[in-house]
Every structure is written in C-alpha cells, then in structure tokens.
Structure 1
C-alpha cells in the first residue's frame, strides 16, 4: 500500500527509505567531519615550531590563531607543561606559504584576538633575519610594550573579577554596590556626578595650567630622572662628605692656622704703619734706577740675544754630572789672515784647485813666476828667521844674558813676525831711568 511520503503513487518499501536515510546521514556526517578536520588543519601541510612562553595568560587552547603583523600565519597545536619551573612549550603549526615572510628573529606573546578576549599568539617583529625553519624555538617577547600590555590585562582581569560575582558568593561586586547606593537617589547621583566632573576639570586645570603637560607626569619624569642619576648623586655626596669630614677632624689646626694668619696680618699692618716714612722714601728713590732701566730698555733685546748665544756654547761645554767645564779653544799666537784665492799656489801656467774654489780676496801674493821659498821657516818683523842665530841673539838681548834653548822655545813663537824693541821704563818724574 501507499504511504504518506509518496506523492506519485509508486510504493517504496520502508526498508529502502531507511537505507536511503542512513546513507544521507552517513554522507552528512562524513562531510561534516571532513569540514571540521579541514578547519583544524588536518589536510594542510604545516611546519612545526616551538614557542617558549612563561606567561600564557588565562590559557592558550589548541587551534588558537597565530598572527604575524595582523596576518594569520598558523595555528597552535598544543601547550606542553613546563619542566623544572621552566617556560611552557607551545607547539605551533605554521603554514608553508607564510613561513618565508617570517624572520627567525621574531618573539612570541599572548594577546586577545577580539572583544571577547579570545587568546591568540602574536609573533613580534624584531628586525630582518633568515626565514623561520622547522623545529625552531621562538623566545618570549619581553619588550616594554609587552610588559605594559600584560600589566593592563591583569588590571582589567582584576576589575572584571571585582565587578562580577558568582551567585554563591556572599560578597557583592562593585557594580552591585553602586546600584544599591544610588537606588532611589537618581537626582543626588546626577548632582554628585556633575560636581565630580567640575572637580576633575578644576584639578586638571591646576595640574596643567598652560595646557602642555600634567604636573604629575612632570613629577613622575623628575622622579625617574632622580632614580636614574642616584648613583652619581650618591657618589658626589660621598666626595663632598670626605673633605667636610677632614675639615671637621682638623678644625683645631684650622683654627690655629686662621689665628696665626690674623696675627701675621696684624703684625704686617703695624710694621707698615710704623715705617710709612721709610717706605715712602724707598719708593721715591726707586725712580732713578727705574729711569735708568727704562732708558736702557732698547738694549734688552740685544742682551737676551747675547745671553741665548752664550748659553748654547756654555751648555755644550758644561758637564752637569761632573760639574766641570771642558772647552775646545783654538789659540793663535801669530797674526791671523784668512786664506783667499790670491794665496793659491801657482807654478807658471799651472794653478792649484783653490784658485777657483777658495774665497775671493785681495791682490795676488805669490806671482805666477815666483819660485818656492828656499827655506820653509817663517820670516817677518825684526826678530829673524825661526831658529836662526839672529833670532836667538835678539831674544837674548831682550831678556838679558846669553842665548839658550829654553828662551827660544818659550818666547820664539811670541816674537816671530813682530817688531821687538827695548825701551827704558820711565821713573816717577817721567824721565828714563
């Protein structure tokens, strides 16, 4: 017979309907399972990395989003418990097509992904680096922004815990307390709110009168600066305390020193007062020496130049270790005349090298046709040739006595080339004696 489900009148057995229904249910279940597995990344190839996190917030469930620069790059595979009070090991499956744009320098932190505070794992960029590789370990982000975020989330969690209480809790939350306090007092609450707004505005104007920055903020910055510079400040205070302590320990000697200085000053003042006339006379008589010094000031430059020229040879002559002076002196006992080109040797047309290289001088002494001297002895003056009988007799007549070798050796070099004469010494009356 026909059933209510058939509209065309053809009869379909109930067992066929049962089989068809079961087939549809199985297909739907398989499709749903495949979709769920697909949503969990079962059919998607991933690269597994590990993030080491100490703080995971209220928990980081599996399949939580992993984001990098706001882009979904993977899923959380699971969270492993810490070992020996170490960090939590968060296994992350990163999509292969996203891993190339993620550097190995990233760090990880837990953040809320939406307004419902669903946790997600965020990878923080820390500069360029090699691409993230399979099996890599990602450190926890400890930057200042992350610390502030965690502090804010903790504060919000405490506020939410205080605002909402469970039904079995005997205490009441903040919102309930406020509701009971303002129940039936709407006008008073509105007035109190308006007064609170005015108080806040007046406080804000007082804290920031010029509209730049808050005085509390400035005070906080000043305290931070004081805290950062406290080591240098303490060191400066320590350095200042040491001399003050020394002065305190030596205050008796300091007092005696000051007393002695005052006594000396008083003595000097008394001496100056008692000898005013003498000091005036001395200063008046100093005008003549000062005038002489001023008149000879033009020669000071020459004096200093001469002293500098003298100090150079003296420093080379004086030996400070032995405290003795050693001088190299050339002593000439005969008349000195500079050698010039006129003194160069000439033998006929043949001239010596010094005729062109020697210093220029006066007329030629040795003529071109002159022959060499027959004797190399020096001839000049009226003494005679060196070592000659005439020289010996002349020296003996000057000294008195007979000629001798000692007189020739001592006085010969002094008299050669000079005119020696013997004159009687005048007496006291001016005549010869």
Structure 2
C-alpha cells in the first residue's frame, strides 16, 4: 500500500527498483540455465560424425567409454556430406586425457527401455582427445550386426503395432481380448502347432533357407552378442519380479504380521505410559552416577584387561588349574638407624635425632624375654629330638620316613611332628 501524501517512495524510484529487480532476476535465471548446460564448467568438446543415429540422440544422452560415463551429447546437426550427422559431444576434463584420439563411436541402447547412448570403442594407443577432435563412426562387423539387428527388430515392432490415430483395433489389443483367460489352452495349442509346423517344414521345405522366425531368432542372438548388457538387465529384472510373484502369500503374511505387531506394541505402550515415565524418572540418578564416573571407565577397562591378561598367563587349560610362577627372595631384616632418616638438603627428619645409632640394640634396651639370645626351646620338644633343624632332628625324621636325611623332609614334615609322639605301623595291605 502506497500513501499519496508523499511520505512513501516516488514513482520514479519505484520504477527504477522494479527495473533493477527484473534485471537481477534475468541475470540469475540466465546464469542458472548456463550452469545447467555446462557453460561455466571446463570441458572438452568433440564432434562424432555418424551416418546412423538410430531413433535419434536427444540432448544429454550418455557418452560411455569402457563402461564409464565420460560425457554427454549437446546436440545433433546434419553434416555437409549427404547422409551423415555431426553429434556434438562434451567430455569431462577428468576423462578426456585418458581417451585416445583413435576411438570410434556407435549408437547402442543403454538400458532395458532402449534409451540411446553413444559408446566409444578403443582402437589402440594414441594421443588423447582435445577440443575440436572429430570421431569417426565405428564400422566393425560387431557394430554392423548390432545396427542390422536393431533395424530388423524395429521393423517387426512397427509391423505388429498400429498408429494411435487409427480408429481400427490393433493386433495386440485383439490378441489380448482373444487370449484373456485361455492361457493353458493356448499353451497346449502352441505346443501342438509347433509340432505341426516342424512336421510340415520337414515335408514341404525343399531347401535349407531361413524363415521369418529364424531371422527373428538370429536378430535376437546378434543383439545378445553385441549388446549383452541389455539382455542381462532384462533377465535381472525378471528374477526379482518372479520371486515376488512366487512369494506373494508369504510377503502378504509378513506385512500383515508386521502391522499387527506394530499395533500391539503401540497399544502396550499406550497402556503403560505412566510406568514408562516413572521408570525413566528413576533412571536419572543411575545415569547421573554413570556420567559422574565416566572418567574412570578407561582405567577400569585397562585394569580389567591387565587382570585378564595375567589370568590367561596363569591358567593352564590342560590341567584346569592356576599355575603361578613366583620368585621369592628372602632378604635379611635390618634395623632402622639414624643413617636411614630422610634428608632434603639442610632439612632432616625427626628420626635423625630420635632414631637408634646402631643396628644392634644396646644391652638393656630389650626385655630378657624378647632377646633372641635368651630363647630356649620348650621342654615338650623332648631332649631326643634336639633343637629345631639340628642333625639329631633330621636323623629322627629320616628314621620315620625312611631313607637318608634331606632338607625337604625337614622343612615339610618337621613342623608336623614336632612336639608329638610318632609310631610307625606296618601297612595293612602288605606294602613296605
């Protein structure tokens, strides 16, 4: 809304603003169109001279080299020579240096819908293509067979179909109406007709000349030989559709079961909303505790890993026991003295003054009962055994166990029999 009192923009200013807006919009639209056509992208433009372009090459048709899309068709114009066409191709700058100048071009169907595309065929090493290069049409035997097969197939399809402007009923529509619901009967009739035709051909045919069916079969074989990707795509598309048709009931049951399960889960969640909310609220403290201790998880994991490694080293799977190899080193005990007190420069610990000066305690510092020199064995040991570890004790233990005295028997069996009376009895089983 514009106010006529002069407070709004003037008419000249509005006109100038509109012109600027239209100009900016036109420039933006032109730039977007030019960008979509590749004007701002660096590319290599070449020309393919083709005598046969099939059903035509629309703009943006693919250009492939060794199965890789390397560019696209910009336009097709008639050449100066009669019966030829100039196909303008724009190649990607990253692919052009790898395409030799000796390549030739041919038109092939790129998919099952027979969308045309240009295929570049390698004919040996040569310098790479540059802008302005001209590519000749491929005239090899395989290309000629492919074009012949496509032309024959196109003629057969044109003969079977009818124009859309014709009011008459087409052959395919007539066949569809006539064969509706008669698949089994038609199969039997076709099998019988094939036998009749084979028998008639063996009787009537006087020379081995190809028939129309033979020509169609040969055309399909040539098409499969020269363009296997087309038939492979058709075969690969049939297998999934056939699988879906065969497993239709199972697929329906799966989808129905999934919908029923989803509905059941939804109903259960709707009836348990309060419990879910309450459970979620009670999970808060536990999650907070996990979050607070998250920094210790790496150390816990490292400790568990070390423990597991140590356990694997100790565990013997053959004996199902833990076997530890331990080195025990006995060092003599030394009494703490003032020489062992901590010192840090000029600073000294309290024990540097209060600690003992000598390792051997002075006389009178220990009670007589605690002085090792005053230890006497109890009378219960008996005078016949002698002090612990003495030769008399070793002889006594050797007499009980049999055999010469040894340190192992003294260490293992000695503590068991000290202070007891041992009687040697004969083996009831007759052993020694």
Query: TM-score, normalised on structure 2?
Result: 0.37
Larger relative CO (CA 8 A, sep 6+): 1 or 2? 2
Query: TM-score, normalised on structure 1?
Result: 0.37
Q: Which structure's CA Rg is the greater one?
A: 1
